[in-house]
Structure 1
Amino acid sequence: MIFKRLIQKNWMSLSLILLCLQCILAIKTKAQVRIGNPILPGYFADPTIIKEKGVFYICATIDPWGDKELGVFTTKDFVKFDRQHINWPTKQVCTSPSSNTSMVWAPCVLKGKDNKFYMYVAVGSELWAGVSNTPLGPWRNLKADNTPLVKYTDFPLVHNIDPECFIDDDGQAYLYWGSGYNWVNGHCMAVKLKGDMVTFDGIPVDVTTTHYFEAPLMRKWHNKYYLMFSNGKATDATYCVGYAVGTSPLGPFIEEKNWKILETNADSTTIGPGHHTVFRENGQDYILYHRIFPQNKAYVLRQLCLDSLDFDNNGHILKVNTNRGVKFSK
């Protein structure tokens, strides 16, 4: 009789445990949401993203081809987005006579080791840098004389756009930028930054790889430095994302055999993907990029998209599957 009661008691305990596990799994499943592309309505490009206090901040170029401000969105789950105003630029005007001085594009926003926020952005064909106490500003120019960080005359052979700032594990910051003219001869410049996040610590070096054209992105994985970039023409299906690997933030960088990891797919549901950023959430890397929206216009409109970024056992980046969508925890 006692033995029978013990069995009944243990069975009830086991049943209760199984019921709790089922509830936990149900909650976990409910907390997962599948994200399709594009992730939000409207036409935007060249995204950057940071997370602060549980909120993601996405800044991007407003299409077609820039505006007097940036497109800014906040989200916690990549399902609901709120449009914001970032208060940038204020009085920044490109000094190049050949550029549209009112257009701002291709931002990079990150949090510094001093817990302040830094933005590097292209205005016309020049680079500007700002600092703020919050991701949305207000921003002030990092240069006291309110001049560009990189003027169009500083590197005549380089189209001085697409800035990217990277902070290494030791706190050292590096700046990357550069494109080409008329869709050829892209150059990638790189330089170490001093503690003020704006003064060059040394002379910028050219770290251009074989297929680099524009939109540099630096990340560190597997104790190596991955220089990611866009190749091709941003107005058609040739635009794509590639990468090279080095042992130093300043290179040299060697492209992998399978260097191209994001491109127009076979059914053309994704056309001309490029100018991306990468972030990590819950142990998974994600790639946020733009793709071309097909339309009969004289100009190109682009949409923001999100996919998973994965590696093989040797640290090679795998081809991005743009038809899979991503699961994201709410």
Structure 2
Amino acid sequence: MTNNKPTSGNPVIPGWYADPEARIFNNRFWIYPTYSAPYKEQTFFDAFYSDNLVEWEKAERILDIKDISWADKAMWAPSPIERNGKYYYFFAANDIQSNNELGGIGIAVSDQPHGPFKDALGKPLIDKIHHGAQPIDPHVFIDNDNNAYLYYGGWGQCNVVKLNTDMISLGTFDDGSVYKDITPNFFVEGPCMIKRKNKYYFMWSEGGWGGPDYSVAYGISESPLGPFNRVGKILEKDPKVATGAGHHGVIQIPGKDEWYIIYHRRPLSETNANHREVCIDRLYFNKEEEIQPIEMTFEGVSECVLGADK
């Protein structure tokens, strides 16, 4: 039987974008990516929204560097979350290389998912290197028990911190620590967490972001704090489709075991490291509850309307 539903196509949004976070806010799909350009030009964030995963609209400059007093370049890897009627937008800026530089992970806040977002603290939330993890690539996750966690890290090290209920300050774990090292084998950057059937699926990017071998692997745990033993890769280059596939977000259709992965990849025609495009494909689990390797496509995904029976 032929599927006559319209599909999104890949790339799912036009232009050079990367590091997409994917969310459902107000019964609408959202993609929050990095504007993929040289660091000095990465000074704003756009967002994209859709009612059906196929047709996407752009919300321009939802956060601009002029509204972040401490940032001067390299704003990337946004991760927004809704709590208590507000939208908290975590992001990295300045690509700091030492504790003597100003930068790290910041938070902006808005009353709407499309912004405008404004600096919540006037300084970074995390501005130092702990356990060897560069403070980049934040990913925020709220568990079923309402505990909020922020996963982050680069340079092959990954940390998790607990967020207080105000979402703009750090809490402590039961052992009194603030920064917990949860680095799995071969981790490079780009953490992402989902929960399915009371198991925690922790994903991350491996390889160099500017090269063809960028990829995504994952591990499973009974706890949001791990340990996350590496199971294997689920997303990597395909010589027929694209290279440099990684740094992603995941959407679950509410109430269904239906999942989508939103990620970036580099077209086969491109060698410029910043020429990355955002794509969407289905994410499936096998009968052993493992994530199946992602099949990258040019077609993308079929139409999906929230709240509608398919």
Q: Which runs of 5+ in 2 are unaligned?
A: 96-103, 173-177, 306-310
Q: CA contact under 8 A between 1:94 and 1:102: conserved in structure 2?
A: no
User: What is the aligned counterpart of 1:78 among 53, 56, 75?
Assistant: 53
Cα deviation for residue 137 of structure 1 reads: 1.9
| 1:150 equivalent in alignment to 2:132 | no
Q: Which runs of 5+ in 1 are unaligned?
A: 1-28, 96-100, 181-185
Q: Deviations over 1:162-216 (max 9, x none)?
A: 0011000011100110011xxxxx1101011111112221211110011211000
| 1:110 equivalent in alignment to 2:81 | yes
| More displaced 10-residue stretch of structure 1: 122-131 or 289-298 | 289-298
The equivalent of 2:105 in structure 1 is: 127
* Structure with more helix by fraction: 1
Q: CA contact under 8 A between 1:93 and 1:123: conserved in structure 2?
A: no
Q: Deviations over 1:27-72 (max 9, x none)?
A: xx76x32232111221100111222333322221112245210122
| 1:34 equivalent in alignment to 2:20 | no
| Residues 55 and 65 of structure 1: CA distance in aligned 2, closer, same or farther (over 3 Å) | farther
Q: CA contact under 8 A between 2:264 and 2:277: conserved in structure 1?
A: yes
| 1:250 equivalent in alignment to 2:225 | yes
Q: CA contact under 8 A between 2:242 and 2:266: conserved in structure 1?
A: yes
Q: Which has the higher contact order (CA 8 A, sep 6+)?
A: 2
| 1:261 equivalent in alignment to 2:234 | yes
**SS of corresponding position for 2:261:** strand
Larger Rg: 1
| Residues 197 and 87 of structure 1: CA distance in aligned 2, closer, same or farther (over 3 Å) | same
| Residues 159 and 65 of structure 1: CA distance in aligned 2, closer, same or farther (over 3 Å) | farther
The equivalent of 1:306 in structure 2 is: 280
> 1 CA distance for matches of 2:74 and 2:69?
9
Cα deviation for residue 74 of structure 1 reads: 2.1
Cα deviation for residue 316 of structure 1 reads: 0.4
> 2 CA distance for matches of 1:314 and 1:298?
39
> 1 CA distance for matches of 2:131 and 2:144?
33
The equivalent of 1:59 in structure 2 is: 32
Amino acid at match of 1:179: G
Amino acid at match of 1:123: A
Q: CA contact under 8 A between 1:235 and 1:292: conserved in structure 2?
A: no
> 2 CA distance for matches of 1:298 and 1:308?
27
When normalised by structure 2's length, the TM-score is 0.85
Cα deviation for residue 260 of structure 1 reads: 0.2
| More displaced 10-residue stretch of structure 1: 203-212 or 278-287 | 278-287
Amino acid at match of 2:123: T
> 2 CA distance for matches of 1:298 and 1:48?
22
Q: CA contact under 8 A between 2:8 and 2:55: conserved in structure 1?
A: no
> 2 CA distance for matches of 1:88 and 1:313?
45
Q: Deviations over 1:81-111 (max 9, x none)?
A: 222121344432557xxxxx22311100121
Q: CA contact under 8 A between 1:211 and 1:231: conserved in structure 2?
A: yes
Percent same amino acid at aligned positions? 32
Q: CA contact under 8 A between 2:235 and 2:294: conserved in structure 1?
A: yes
The equivalent of 2:136 in structure 1 is: 161
Instruction: Give the total of aligned pairs.
Output: 286
RMSD (Å) for aligned C-alpha atoms: 2.3
